Amino acid sequence: MELFQRLGWSLFVAGFGFALGGCAPAGPGAADDEREPHYVLGQNRVNAMDFQGAAEAFEESLAANPRSAAAHFQLAMLYDEKEANPASAIYHYQQYLRFEPKASNAEVIAQRIYTCKQQLAADVLPLPSAPAIQQQLQQLADTNRVLQLQLEYYTRQLAAVQNSPMPPPENATPTPSSSAPAVRIKPAPPRPAAAKARAHTVAAGETPAAVARKYGITLNSLMAANPGLNPKKLRVGQTLNLPPL
């Protein structure tokens, strides 16, 4: 099984290197870079599928020769395909192009850099899923509806206050005039008893619409009797005011 894994990795390296225009840069000095002992050790560890050890060896090769385009190229491939480290892959791809500006695979390398940047952006700034966006929009729509009902309620209350006449002071008594006959003032009829306040205690699973149906009232009248009520945050045991009969 290990033999097949090594053979598979060797075929992958060959195919990936062919797509990038060669497994290592072919410019002047490339052969010297590939003979550097740490670089050779890194290649051996790649063949043994020890990718972490290979990365360490290529890093040591760069410590010995920071301008080694070949070592940068190998590290970029490892971080891109095996270590899932797009930030490091971008750095080593860029360093490879820096020290090998006339590389024949420069266009393909630029595309790999772009792909790594997309992956890095997706990891850092994940976009919300479509269902999550839809749920947020629904919550905003529900909140907007509640605010509209509250605005209508307060608008009606303000209009009623502005249109009602000012009652005379309760302790004011008419002053009789010497020239006008006395007028007998009838006592004011007794005021009707105030409507008895009603309330409902929220049970598990109930919604404002369900409460309105239970008492045969409209949802708008229930919301108007409970200014500031958030239908999405009903609690079991919460008391709701019911419109008077």
Q: Which CATH number belongs to the domain containing residue 14 in this structure?
A: 1.25.40.10
Is residue 233 a part of any domain in this protein?
Answer: yes
**Residue at a domain's end among 124, 141, 169:** 124
State the pLDDT at residue 100: 92
Task: Please write the tens of the pLDDT for every residue from 94-135.
Answer: 999 999 999 999 999 999 999 999 988 887 765 566 777 878
Based on the fold, state whether residues 27 and 115 are members of the same structural domain.
yes
With 80 as the cut, is the pLDDT of residue 203 above it?
A: yes
The mean pLDDT of 157-177, rounded to a whole number, is 68
Q: Are residues 83 and 14 in the same domain?
A: yes
173 in any annotated domain:
no
Statement to judge: residues 94 and 25 lie in one domain: yes
Q: Where in the sequence is the domain holding 232, given as residue range(s)? A: 132-149+197-245
Q: Which of 43-47, 157-161, 209-213 has the lowest mean pLDDT?
A: 157-161
195 has a pLDDT exceeding 70: no
pLDDT at 179: 57
Residues 57 and 97 in one domain: yes
- Is 43's pLDDT higher than 80? yes
The mean of the pLDDT values for the chain is 80
Closest CA to 43 of 3, 96, 105, 33: 33
Instruction: Among 107, 124, 141, identify where a domain stops.
Output: 124
Does 107 share its domain with 219? no
Same-domain status, 145 and 51: no
Q: Is residue 35 part of a domain?
A: yes
pLDDT grade for 194, boundaries at 50, 70 and 90: low
- If asked whether residues 240 and 140 sit together in one domain, one would say yes
Residue 3 has pLDDT above 80, yes or no: no
Q: Are 111 and 83 in contact (CB under 8 A)?
A: no
Q: Indicate whether 165 pLDDT > 50.
A: yes
Per-residue pLDDT at 180: 54
CATH classification at residue 139: 3.10.350.10
Q: Are residues 137 and 120 in the same domain?
A: no
190 located within any domain: no
Same-domain check for residues 226 and 138: yes
For residue 157, is it within any domain? Answer: no
Q: Is the per-residue pLDDT at 63 higher than 50?
A: yes
Q: Mean pLDDT across the stretch 161-182?
A: 63
Q: Are the beta carbons of 71 and 33 closer than 8 angstroms?
A: yes
Least confident residue range of 58-62, 69-73, 106-110, 156-160: 156-160
Q: How many domains does the chain have?
A: 2
What is the pTM (predicted TM-score) of this model?
0.44
Q: pLDDT at position 88, please?
A: 93
Strand-pair partners of 198 = 242
Other C-beta atoms lying within 10 Å of the C-beta of residue 100:
23
Helix (H, G, I), strand (E, B) or coil at 73: helix
Instruction: Find the mean pLDDT for residues 174-184.
Output: 57
- Sequence-distant contacts of 160-164: CB under 8 A, at least 24 apart: none
Indicate if 137 and 208 belong to the same structural domain: yes
Strand-pairing partners, residue 200, are: 240
Q: What is the pLDDT of residue 13?
A: 47
87 part of a folded domain: yes
The distance from CA 132 to its chain's CA centroid, rounded to whole angstroms, is: 8
Least confident of 57-66, 145-154, 170-179: 170-179
The answer to whether position 89 is within a domain reads: yes
Residues 6 and 85 in one domain: yes
pLDDT at residue 122, as a whole number? 83
Q: Is residue 158 part of a domain?
A: no
CB atoms within 10 A of CB 1: 5
pLDDT on residue 229: 87
Most confident of 96-100, 134-138, 172-176: 96-100
Predicted pLDDT of residue 170:
62
**Backbone dihedral region of 170: left (phi > 0), alpha (psi from -120 to 50 degrees) or beta?**
alpha
Alpha helices in 20-50 (DSSP H): 30-35, 37-47
46 has a pLDDT exceeding 70:
yes
Residues 59 and 138 in one domain: no
